Chain A
Amino acid sequence: MKKLALLSLALSWLSLSACAPDSVGRYQTGETKEEATALLNGRQYQKVIWLIENRHAADPEGEEAYLLAQAYLGKSGVEPLAFAADISRPEPDNEAARNLFPQCPKGELRSHRGVPMKCILKRVYLRAPKADDPDFARARYLLRRAYPVPANTPEWVNTLIGLVETLSVVSRAGDVYLFAKGQTPAQLMIGAQVRLPWLKNHGRRAREEARFAIDRARHAGPKISGLLSGSKADVWFEQADGTVTYAETVGLPKFLDFVRDHVLKPNDEIRYGEMIDRLRDLVAQEENSLLQTDDDE
């Protein structure tokens, strides 16, 4: 009996020593980069957000802002490798996919070689969160706050920030494109905004995000376009930079006139001509209303 009791005691001790502190090991405070990264590894994005935001009265800065931004990015569904992988997968079957460049290949892309850039951008648009999605927008804000100067930012961080800015621009451009084709974006259907302010807001923000994206791309080499398109060429940002600069110089209505008169091919004219006219009229109305507002003020 005594032997049995001793054996039980020994086994109990072994069991207790093995199991008891486990809950202590799992207790997380998110106070260190170590813990936050462990939670990111486990894709517990909401937990990182909760832990970091509860420790700060105001938005954090530096490394903490970067960790928080990563958590918001994960929560909005953007994991860079997974996102890049999604671009190759078959297009989703929805109204936006049917209206946006319907001639583009719809199936799985084994290689991005030879696929027109607009088709890659279409896939980016279909997978990206909406630019004003609260989690995605907060991630964008925190990333800018964590690393405000591209020249002083590590290359990969510039790549990540550039990716987020690029997704924002593509998302807005896709929305405006569909809007110009007569498809009403969700934001307008729920009546939260009227058409002109919505367009104005999208245009302004897209221009700002394009500038940020270009700035980041200058300090990230070809990695942003590489991640999204598999192409090492920096062609995206060279073209975007030139386009933004030109549009800002001549004004958007004149820019759209220029596109219609000199860039569109005869086939494109049939497809996109009417859409560009509608967009041009809307932008002109917006500029007039802005002038009117300025006069009133």
Chain B
Amino acid sequence: MLRLLLLLLIAFFAVLPAPARATDFDLSLAYGQSRDFWRLVGDIQDRTGNAAEIDALARNRYGRPDVIYSYLDAAYAYPHSHFNWEPFGMLVIGTRAEALAGGEISNPISPEIQAYANATGIASIGYRSLNAPGRKTFWEARLLGGVGPEKRLYAQGAEFLDTIPVRNGALFLGGAFLQMMNHAQPGEDFYVTTDLFVRTVYFHSTTDAPLSKPDEDLSFFTVRWKLQNEWLKEVDTFLSSRTRLGIISVLGQNPTPFLNLPVTWDYQQHLKTYPGFRSTSGIGGIARFLNDRALPNVALYGGFFGGAFGGGADLQLGPVVLNASTYGLENFLSPSREKTRIWNATLGIAL
């Protein structure tokens, strides 16, 4: 099944028209971590049957979810001749490799441990807007498909003292996303940026459900949506004559500005389309310091996103963008939906 899917993807790319001129190449590398939960899982499994040591390991970890992820994303775009419509004037082919792991121990009275890890390769193809000077609105739409191994672990109550089985399987995903970005200038020195993103993905896993949770469903659809706005006023400050100060607002699941979580996050967290207002809204302040070439060289932002403080900094050096940020991410593995503080670093290159 896996080989067949890869062969189909390779064949699909092989018959595509050859690139012409004015190509784009984007590369981004991201890493985010709270703590390595699987180390705790390993420690617990090393102490099978020893209640005292297992209790000592778990004692202060209830309600503290952990996550770690990384991904490498590359996209190559070039003008195509399939149809003549500028908003989708470029064909874009993307590949992505991502790894995600995490878990949580919950409830000292009715203890439950959950852990997951997956590594997934994702290929995508679609269209995006031509990068023409003066363009205010950019579109991108892609189909995506991926596959990779996963492992999961679940135990409840007395099962903590047994050998907790790690269940292995393969995770398949297929879906599509649409993104729109618009830069508007309603006033002489007032700027509004809108970034809209919608992605729907079907996930299917071959991993068996745990014995003590036989009704766990590991095949489902998710819909991720995000609307991010910047409302900026340009002023003259001693840091830059073109300083833009304003508000940044975000709506959608994991409402964290400028943070792209792994696609498989949606699967591991059983993403809900609307998990509640608090979980889907964020607001904060942002300051951009622009240089003469109008590049957003430095951006600082901070606020309350998805019920927790978050903030970060962007630094643009020519085609290279560096980002460092921290957010409190909600965890949907357990009913308490506790947050974990994640520290994220991203390196992006746009050629």
Q: How far is the CA of A253 from the CA of B62 in the complex (A)?
A: 48
- Chain B 323-351, CB within 8 Å of chain A: the 1/0 string? 00000000000111110000000000000
Which of A37-45, A129-137, A166-174 interfaces with chain B? A37-45
B304 and A160 contacting across the interface, CB-CB below 8 Å:
no
Q: Which residue of A is nearest B56, CB measured?
A: A85
Least CB distance from B146 to A in Å reads 31
Q: Which of B52, B59, B308 has the most CB of A within 10 A?
A: B52
Q: At the interface, yes or no: B8 with Cβ under 8 Å from chain A?
A: no
Tell me the nearest residue of chain A to B62, going by C-beta: A41
Beta-carbon nearest neighbor of B248 in chain A: A17
CB distance from A152 to the nearest CB of B (A): 15
Rounded to whole Å, the gap between the CB of B305 and the closest CB of chain A is 10
Residue from A21, A25, A41, A88 within 8 A of B108 (CB atoms): A41
Partner pick for B55 among A6, A33, A82, A156, CB 8 A cutoff: A82
Once A41-B62, A41-B338 are accepted as A-B contacts, the answer to whether A80 and B157 lie under 8 Å apart by CB is: yes
The total number of A-B Cβ pairs within 8 Å is 141
Given contacts A41-B63, A81-B54, contact A33 B108 (CB under 8 A): no
CB of B109 within 8 A of CB of A74, answer yes
Which chain A residues lie closer than 8 Å to B227 at the CB level?
none
A9 CA to B109 CA, complexed, in Å: 48
Question: Judging by beta carbons under 8 Å apart, are B285 and A13 in contact?
Answer: yes
Give, as a whole number of angstroms, the nearest-CB distance from A128 to chain B.
Answer: 15
Smallest CB–CB gap between B288 and chain A, Å? 11
* Given A20-B304, A34-B336, A38-B336, A80-B237 contact (CB < 8 Å): no
Q: For A157, what are the chain B residues with a Cβ–Cβ distance below 8 Å? A: 110
CB of A18 within 8 A of CB of B311, answer yes
Cβ-defined partner of A223 (8 Å) among B109, B158, B236: B158
CA distance A19 to B245 in the complex (A): 19
Across the interface, do A81 and B58 meet the contact criterion of CB distance under 8 Å?
A: yes
Task: Report A-chain residues with C-beta under 8 Å of the C-beta of B235.
Answer: 6
Q: What range describes how many residues of B lie at the interface?
A: 35 or more
C-beta contact mask, B249-281 vs A, less than 8 Å → 1, else 0?
A: 000000000000000000000000000001000
A14 / chain B contacts, CB cutoff of 8 Å? 284-285, 287, 300, 302-303, 311
Shortest A175–chain B CB gap in Å is 25
Which chain A positions have C-beta within 8 A of B284? 14, 17-18
Question: Which residue of chain B lies nearest to A66 when distances are taken between CB atoms in the complex?
Answer: B110
**B287 and A10 within 8 A (CB):** yes
* Chain A residues, CB < 8 A from B206: none
Interface residues of A in 73-104 (CB under 8 A from B): 73-74, 78-82, 84-85, 87-89
In the assembled complex, B156 has its CB within 8 A of some CB on chain A: yes
By the criterion of a CB under 8 Å from any partner CB, how many residues of chain A are at the interface? Answer: 48
Of residues 146 through 162 on chain B, the ones whose CB sits less than 8 Å from some CB of chain A are 156-162
Given contacts A84-B161, A87-B51, contact A18 B302 (CB under 8 A): yes
Whether A226 sits at the interface, judged by CB under 8 Å, is: yes
* Whole-angstrom distance between the Cβ of A8 and the nearest chain B Cβ: 11
Q: How far is the CA of A82 from the CA of B111 in the complex (A)?
A: 11
Given contacts A13-B285, A14-B285, contact A227 B161 (CB under 8 A): yes
The answer to whether B110 and A156 have CB atoms under 8 Å apart is yes
Q: Are A18 and B309 in contact (CB under 8 A)?
A: yes
Choose among A18, A33, A74, A156 the residue that contacts B335 (Cβ–Cβ < 8 A): A33
Q: Would you call A56 an interface residue if the criterion is a C-beta within 8 Å of the partner chain's C-beta atoms?
A: no
Question: For chain B residues 111-129, which have a beta carbon within 8 Å of chain A?
Answer: 111
Contact assessment for A41 and B308 in the assembled complex, using a CB-CB cutoff below 8 Å: no
A6→B245 CA distance, assembly (Å): 9
Measured between beta carbons, the chain A residues less than 8 angstroms from B50 are 88
B260 to chain A, nearest CB (A): 22
Does B108 lie within 8 Å of A227, measured CB to CB?
no
CA distance A74 to B107 in the complex (A): 10
Other CB < 8 Å A-B pairs besides A17-B285, A25-B308, A156-B110, 17 of them?
A: A3-B238, A6-B237, A17-B283, A18-B311, A25-B278, A37-B106, A43-B108, A71-B109, A78-B109, A80-B157, A81-B54, A82-B108, A160-B109, A223-B157, A223-B158, A227-B161, A230-B161
Interface of B with A (CB < 8 Å)? 49-56, 58-59, 62-63, 106-111, 156-162, 212, 235-239, 243, 245, 278, 283-285, 287, 300, 302-304, 307-309, 311, 334-338
